[in-house]
Amino acid sequence: MTTVNRTAAVDLATFGISILIIGTGLGVVLIGPTVLMPVHWDIRGDADGWAGREIVGLLIAGLGLFNLLIAGGIGLFAARSGDPARRRALRFGQLVVLLTLTGVSLFVGASSLSGAVTIRTAIPMAGLSLIFILTGAFLGRVGPNPVVGVRTPWTYKSRLAWDRSNRLAGRLLFLIGLAGLVSAPWAIQPFALIALIVAVIVAAVWSVIESWRVWRTDPDPQPF
């Protein structure tokens, strides 16, 4: 598949998937279940917030709209870039947003509409882990931008810091997701779900520290 075809495929997927999510959300508003549905789960994975179909539908539609605006916006900036390397890096950013927000939309929609009173079971944990795997697989290839990746003052002043901290974040997310996916069928809950969340937080903090460390040793950083 040529670069042009891949670009068109990502743009088409961004538009089509976003419209599908928005349409699903609006459908829930109009003809969704009339009972209260879970919309929030605590750190143990138990539902602690409930809402009617209007709120659930608008939440799903909002995720679709957010996907369209953010992923589509990055794609627009990529199309207007005259630098092939930057254009390619932004396309990876678009792909990360598309995969992540689509995964979150599916996870939230399925959990709410199924009336899941807990997400500390094998299938939800596997779903979360898969989102981390897909995000981590491409995060390290994302170029500097204002919405995706490890965005710290140091990554904006050092391309080396951006590249290394995002590669680290991507690898950590991928490994965390892989571990969660493999262990999901027999993991002890709610400890496994809590461990998954804590691991992602640790990975985020580690990546931020890495951005500062690499910036300090960069021989050619931009001045503040």
Q: How confident is the model at residue 191 (pLDDT cuts 50, 70, 90)?
A: very high
pLDDT by residue (tens digit) across 4-20? 677 889 999 999 999 99
Reduced to 3 states, what is the DSSP secondary structure of residue 222?
coil
Q: Which tokens go with 2?
A: 């040529």
Buried b (16+ CB within 10 A) or exposed e, 54-79: ebbbbbbbebbbbbbebbbbbbebbe
- Domain definitions of the chain by residue range: 1-118, 120-224
pLDDT by residue (tens digit) across 113-167? 999 999 989 999 999 999 999 999 999 999 999 889 999 999 999 999 999 999 9
Which DSSP string corresponds to 108-174? HHHHHHTT-SB--SHHHHHHHHHHHHHHHHHHTTPPS-SSSS---TTTTT-HHHHHHHHHHHHHHHH
pLDDT at 1 over 60: no
pLDDT at 2 over 70: no
pTM of the predicted protein model: 0.91
Q: Residue 46 has what pLDDT?
A: 93
